[in-house]
Amino acid sequence: MTDPVLALPVLALTDARLTLAGNAGPVEILKGISLDIAKGETVGLIGPSGSGKSSLLMLMGGLERATGGKVLALGQDLTAMDEDALARFRRGNMGVVFQSFHLIPTMTALENVALPMELSGTPDAFPRAEAELASVGLGHRIGHYPAQLSGGEQQRVALARAAAPRPAILLADEPTGNLDGVNGQAIMDMLFGLRDRHGATLVLVTHSPELATRCDRVIRLADGLLAPEALAKAAE
């Protein structure tokens, strides 16, 4: 018999909406998204620019607050949490990788990777960070600052930072968008490798059809809504 808790989706969105205020009036970004993502699943979010992919990812990570509907992560209602509660929730459960890396420039690679574990009070934050950096091939660059690293290396540090706390959910927003083909391929291999190693649920925003085909499921967005074929399995 299946454990009902394990059967719960890791991410569950019900009629999730996002409207942002603009100078010319409110702008409806997401117009009612209902979606379940299962534990361990890898999901690719695709769609044209402005379709709401990144905004949907931000809702899933509690980095944007839904203006309507519900967003549940690991069974917890993100729409009911305040900023600090969301931060505490992300701390132990989510890793986020951005297109622009978003490393902290005044911290070394090792400090950047150790930071989320320091924030959650993990006692062996630095040894774990060092091991994670070694796993992405940067064991020899732990003392370097972001400005001393190439774009590909910075994204590898960002990957290590997202994966080191062993989060249940990995969110990646166009992680290869700022990288050339070779580095982009290497980063994707590492991202899927980390996901396989830690068993996390991976939600990935991408413009690359090739990358999307590596996911268990591809969800297409168009104009703030799920496209009709959204739930089609991508990689057969």
Where do contacts with another protein occur on this chain (CB under 8 A)? 61, 63, 83-84, 87-88, 90-92, 96, 102-107, 111, 115-116, 118-121, 161
Tally of CB atoms within 10 A around 189 = 11
CB-nearer residue toward another protein: 15 or 118: 118
Instruction: List, in sequence order, the alpha helices (H) in 83-124.
Output: 83-93, 109-119
CB-nearer residue toward another protein: 31 or 88: 88
Closest CA to 207 of 221, 197, 194: 221
Handedness of CA 226, 227, 229, 235 (dihedral sign): negative
* Smallest gap from residue 103 Cβ to another protein (A): 8
* Smallest gap from residue 107 Cβ to another protein (A): 5
- Gap between the Cα atoms of 125 and 14, Å rounded: 36
CB-nearer residue toward another protein: 31 or 102: 102
- Gap between the Cα atoms of 111 and 121, Å rounded: 14
3-state helix, strand, coil in the chain (%, to 5): 35, 25, 40
The residue length of the chain stands at 236
Structure tokens belonging to residue 147: 């400005």
CB-nearer residue toward another protein: 116 or 224: 116
DSSP state at residue 177: T
- Gap between the Cα atoms of 128 and 117, Å rounded: 9
CB-nearer residue toward another protein: 146 or 224: 146
* Smallest gap from residue 185 Cβ to another protein (A): 26
CB-nearer residue toward another protein: 172 or 218: 172
